[in-house]
Amino acid sequence: MVVWVHARDQFDWLKIQFPSGAGAAGVDLFFVISGFIMVYTTYGKKISPLDFMLRRIERIAPLYWAATLAILCVAAVAPALLKSTVLSGPHILASLAFLPMLSPAFPNNYWPLHIPGWTLNYEMAFYLLFSVSLLAHGVWRIVLLGICLVGVVIGGIFWQLNGVWKFYSDAIILIFLAGAMVGYFMARIAPAKNAFMGTLLLSAGIMLWIFLQSAETGHRLWSAGMPATIIVLGALVTPNVGTRFLAWLETLGDASYSIYLSHIFCLAGLRVLSKLIGFVIQDNFHGWIFMFVCLIACSATGVFVFKYIEKPLASKVRDLHHKMRTKMRVGTANSAG
């Protein structure tokens, strides 16, 4: 969904042929899944806030930092690949630190150097608030998380916050809470798989999303976040069909983070390549061909990045983290001795 939206941005005429930006709701789906996973995987476990944050940084940061540094390299070696990149020292540092800062290239947006990374700025903020909720247990974790997230949004409205604080207090962060509530429901209630209920929820969520997107009304919390929550819940209660020919979907799911971070490089390359070979003819047929090629190429690139960059990089980071923790434990034991 996100690749589709950004593929439209490669040529102005594509936006005319494909005017709907509904694919941006892939971000909202991502937020719901993230909220669900954080709660579901930590349910009933005692985890320190610091350990949780270190593990999330270990999981998210390395590939994002690599992608950001790759943009710097491309900007230095082949700037023609980048449609609109303006380098600024403070902005680069803020991007690497997951801190929102007005983009030099897009002064009205708090976008990092790697533009899709704006969602990761929200993600890291959510992780921080979620780490606080780990101090509580059971349902009180969800209550504390809800108080934090709702309180931030209400505070932003009440004090009419601007700048970075307006970015953080946007109601979009409540989509994480929706996913967290789904996570608690699935962990605490553990409803039985039900094909009818799953199909009903999936169908209802998709139809609601289509209706709200066509209506173009309301904040994305409602127009995209609510349907995404219903869709995720429907997927969770749907029995595993166990169909081998759908295994490629699991591969795409595993590689989703790599696809998300690598697709802008692939799209830029396809845009330049299309111009070089004279493929770009502004008609419906060539528009559909270009978009289809973008989906396939970005997916394939993301799977490659996942297998040969993300997984090895994550493994090395985990090994380094383990060695550091082992040395710290040994040092503590020696001091105590």
Write out pLDDT tens, residues 166-178: 999 999 999 999 9
Domain that holds residue 39: 2-319
Q: Which of 238, 240, 226 is nearest to 200 (CA)?
A: 238
Can you tell me the distance from the alpha carbon of 144 to that of 153, in angstroms, rounded to the nearest whole number?
A: 14
272 has a pLDDT exceeding 70? yes
Q: Which of 144, 148, 208 is nearest to 173 (CA)?
A: 148
Count of domains forming the chain:
1
The reply to whether 75 falls in a domain is yes
| SS percent in the chain: helix, strand, coil, step 5 | 80, 0, 20
The reply to whether 331 falls in a domain is no
Q: What pLDDT was estimated at residue 27?
A: 96
The reply to whether 329 falls in a domain is no
Least confident of 89-98, 129-138, 140-149, 243-252: 243-252
Can you tell me the distance from the alpha carbon of 252 to that of 231, in angstroms, rounded to the nearest whole number?
A: 18
Helix (H, G, I), strand (E, B) or coil at 328: helix
252 has a pLDDT exceeding 80? yes
Q: How far apart are the first and last CA of the chain?
A: 57
Give the model confidence (pLDDT) of 184-196 as tens digits. 999 999 899 999 9
The reply to whether 333 falls in a domain is no
The reply to whether 77 falls in a domain is yes
Collect all residues with Cβ–Cβ distance below 8 Å to 334 and sequence separation of at least 6. Answer: none
The reply to whether 336 falls in a domain is no
Q: What pLDDT was estimated at residue 323?
A: 82
- pTM for the model: 0.92
Q: What pLDDT was estimated at residue 307?
A: 96
The reply to whether 180 falls in a domain is yes
The reply to whether 23 falls in a domain is yes
